[in-house]
Amino acid sequence: MEVHPLGVEHLSVPTESMIQLRAVEKVYRTGRVEFPALRGVDLDVDAGEFVAIVGPSGSGKSTILNVISGIDRPTAGEVTVAGHDLHQLDEEELAIWRGEQVGIVFQFFQLLPTLTARENVMLPLDFASIGSVRERSDRAAELLARVGLGDRLDHFPAELSGGEQQRVAIARALACDPSILVADEPTGNLDTDTADEMFAVLDTVNGDGTTVVYVTHDRRLADRAHRVVSIRDGQVVGDDRR
């Protein structure tokens, strides 16, 4: 067993093959129209890897993140993440698993505007009923300091720059000490300098042992990952390990 930062025990995760996709297909349907987003994807990501997923718009990049995080269920194939076969989990079990094992960073931050930075980071801990209110607050303050926002704890999103808001989003994604962090175009709305700063935060998170998988359209930032997986037309067409 591992002990959560707030003292809550949870099941340990494997030291290898953190993520396994086997013959994964995903078809989206709108009425009688079908759109195949993934076409038989096989992918393995080991614990502690830092992986960029690249490809043209509509290639299936974000869908891969969605099936890894359990947001989407595959139409066919198997997804195993952090030792769990996701197809065997019902919706409630999947939500609990995701809260414990996966942190998600969205392109558009998705912070609640009426909550402070500290309160936004506390949300996953509140939903999971982890620790006391004081412990949750202290954990949020610790994470915000870790991403360079120790002096912005009580600022609202509107009082923060885009880069600062994304840092809050990363801190929130790390609140429950997930084994995996997935990020969908986390620098897409940031200028070059701020994007570089954001990448440095992700690099630090990975250096602390978290498996990081992120989607980016910026080849310059992708090339700074340890591994670049290229997607086209719903299939893996390249896998470059550095």
Please name the residues in contact with 159: beta carbons below 8 A apart, sequence gap of 6 or more. Answer: none
Question: What are φ and ψ of residue 7, in 5° steps?
Answer: 95, 5
Q: What is the pLDDT of residue 218?
A: 85
Which pLDDT score is estimated for 193?
Answer: 86
CATH architecture of 2-241: 3-Layer(aba) Sandwich (3.40)
Find the distance separating the first CA and the last CA of the chain, reported in whole Å. 32
- Residues 125 and 136: their CA atoms lie apart, in Å, by 6
Residue type, 214: Y
pTM for the full predicted model? 0.87
Q: Looking at residue 3, what is its pLDDT? A: 40
Q: What is the structure's pLDDT at 43?
A: 97
* pLDDT tens for the 242 residues of the chain, in order: 344 455 444 444 444 689 999 999 999 998 889 999 999 999 999 999 999 999 999 999 999 999 999 999 999 999 999 989 998 999 999 988 998 899 999 888 899 999 999 999 999 999 888 899 999 999 999 999 988 899 999 999 999 998 899 899 999 999 999 999 999 988 877 888 888 888 888 899 999 999 999 999 888 889 989 999 999 999 999 999 98
Beta bridge partners of 196: none
Task: Tell me if residue 179 falls in helix, strand or coil.
Answer: coil
In this structure, are residues 98 and 176 in contact, taking their beta carbons and an 8 Å threshold? no
CA distance 5 to 9: 9
Strand order from edge to edge, sheet including 19-30 = 33-45, 19-30, 76-81, 84-85
Distance CA 19, CA 53 (A): 14
What confidence score (pLDDT) does residue 197 get? 84
Q: Which helix (H) or strand (E) holds 167?
A: helix 162-173
What residues does each domain of the chain span?
Answer: 2-241
